[in-house]
Structure 1
């Protein structure tokens, strides 16, 4: 959908880098990670808490934290599958190119994953029910994605909103991914955004998460 919405996806913005590479693929990668970590992941944790799975495990030799780790592993595998499908479609159907700096793109992906899972854990920690977790995750997803380029280049947004979006993890990751396609260094602001989100989200989730 992002590829089809572009007027000239094959036009080069730099030698070897098309509009699709620079503006659609980075956003799609950020979308996949954010949807899985912020919208999907918290709902499972809230369900485990509501059905008292975590409370029952707490009185057994098995730690309830094992369920959280297992769910995160499954969720991460789901995210990688989504990225593989998205990239496969982009390359085979839209002639997208791989980033010039693949190792840095992988590093950005890992940084974005940590940040978004921290946000997802925060959502799960404050949501009283599974439905509330889905609703809060949806609000967080659309809030970050709308300001980060989901509905078009951030250049089309008012300057103040674009600036806010660039400091949120979604927009920061999209900009970082774009830099890897260009072969440019990733701006420190992007790393700062992902790092601060990871630290704050983890701290809030650890302080507020309830096992029952």
Structure 2
């Protein structure tokens, strides 16, 4: 794996640029990372309606809960569903196998794809926040640096889980199917369909430490200026490390 990172900076830049061009050519593939965040934000913003008048730590529910929920939802969908399907399609097309006999190790392609995918997620979230600000008057986080750190930590956890999906899925379609099951399962117990208070106590506690729930709670805390729960931050970091290790051990290049 270390050979994957032995490429000079210029080669890395060219590899990332090539990946970006391939993604841009797939116009339909840009709908999820760029169009979906805006759509989700608009739907949640309109749906908040009366909830927007409720306040949490001095902020409307739309700011304190709906916006963080939307951001985590977007990152989870891109990291767990969208990216693995690209990597599985590379394996099916034999791209990774052919790269294994060139100086560009297949792992470098995986890294470049993650970089490009994360850039799409950042752009999609930025567009969604711009729409939320202009259309619904949403405020920016009270603790912006904490929010940025939580976002990156949640993204690391989601993308690591996505790498596990890509490692285990034999085909692009199965990658999408497995990713969707994982996405909706973590979303359901993480508060994506409503407050976790309606869940049994043990499931509520578990959901709060799975990537979706932990990311949502920590980002909501940062948005309202509160300190995130260290246990939830640890859960995100632990998921990222553990899932990355599993993906590295099980990933198949062909």
User: Which residue in the other structure is 1:108 paired with?
Assistant: 150
Give the alignment of 1:136-175 within 5 angstroms.
136-175=178-217
TM-score with structure 2 length normalisation?
Answer: 0.80
User: Which residue in the other structure is 1:10 paired with?
Assistant: 53
Partner SS, residue 59 of structure 1: coil
Note if contact 1:119-1:198 (Cα within 8 Å) is conserved in structure 2: yes
CA distance in 2, matches of 1:200, 1:146: 22
User: Which residue in the other structure is 1:197 paired with?
Assistant: 239
2:129 is the counterpart of 1:87: yes
2:112 is the counterpart of 1:70: yes
Q: What's the CA shift for 1:12? A: 2.2
CA distance in 1, matches of 2:244, 2:57: 38
CA distance in 1, matches of 2:106, 2:93: 13
Q: What's the CA shift for 1:95? A: 1.4
The number of aligned residues is 211
Extract unaligned runs of 5+ from structure 2. 1-42
2:251 is the counterpart of 1:209: yes
What is the alpha-carbon root mean square deviation over aligned residues? 1.2
CA distance in 2, matches of 1:132, 1:191: 30
2:83 is the counterpart of 1:41: yes
TM-score with structure 1 length normalisation?
Answer: 0.95
User: Which residue in the other structure is 2:26 paired with?
Assistant: none
Note if contact 1:100-1:180 (Cα within 8 Å) is conserved in structure 2: yes
User: Which residue in the other structure is 2:16 paired with?
Assistant: none
More helix by share: 2
Runs (4+) of structure 1 moved beyond 6 Å?
A: none
2:219 is the counterpart of 1:177: yes
Cα deviation 1:99-137 (Å, max 9, x = unaligned): 110000000011011111110000001111111100000
Partner SS, residue 98 of structure 1: coil
Note if contact 1:23-1:153 (Cα within 8 Å) is conserved in structure 2: no
